[in-house]
């Protein structure tokens, strides 16, 4: 079982998606994202299987939550530097976890 100290090791921040590209090399349909997490963290790259629920236009400038202090993960020819948080819809496809209000880019989950 995870402890509150374990949870505290995760750095979950609000980021703004600043670029979305197709990722045709991925095994499952996915996008390559560039996400701005503000001055302290900066811009990070991520790969996410969001094609079923979001168009590229839907994602542009969207605020999302991401874990920014995990080690980079190689996904085919791309590197994912941040884990964007999502939950499955009734079909098992990813729905992003988004702040419900206007919050600052870089704000840390507590």
Q: What is the DSSP string of 50-74?
A: -TTT--HHHHTT-EEEEE-SSPPEE
- Residue-wise pLDDT for 51-82, tens only, equals 999 999 999 999 999 999 999 999 989 999 99
Is 71 domain-assigned? Answer: yes
Secondary structure (3-state) at 91? coil
Q: What residues does 86 pair with on adjacent strands? A: 96
Q: Which residues of the chain have pLDDT under 50?
A: none
Is 80 domain-assigned? Answer: yes
pLDDT of residue 9: 95
The pTM for the full model equals 0.94
Is 108 domain-assigned? Answer: no
Report how far residue 56's alpha carbon sits from residue 16's, in angstroms, rounded to the nearest whole number. Answer: 14
- 56: CATH: 2.40.50.140
Number of domains the chain is built from: 1
Is 79 domain-assigned? Answer: yes
């Amino acid at each position: 079982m995870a402890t509150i100290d374990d949870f505290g090791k995760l750095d979950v921040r609000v980021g703004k998606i600043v670029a979305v590209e197709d990722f045709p090399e991925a095994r499952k349909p996915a996008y390559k994202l560039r996400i701005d997490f503000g001055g302290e963290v900066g811009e990070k790259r991520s790969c996410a299987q969001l094609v079923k629920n979001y168009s590229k236009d839907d994602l542009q400038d969207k605020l999302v939550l991401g874990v920014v202090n995990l080690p980079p993960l190689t996904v085919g020819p791309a590197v994912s530097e941040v884990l964007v948080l999502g939950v499955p819809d009734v079909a098992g496809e990813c729905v992003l976890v988004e702040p419900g209000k206007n919050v600052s880019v870089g704000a840390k989950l507590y």
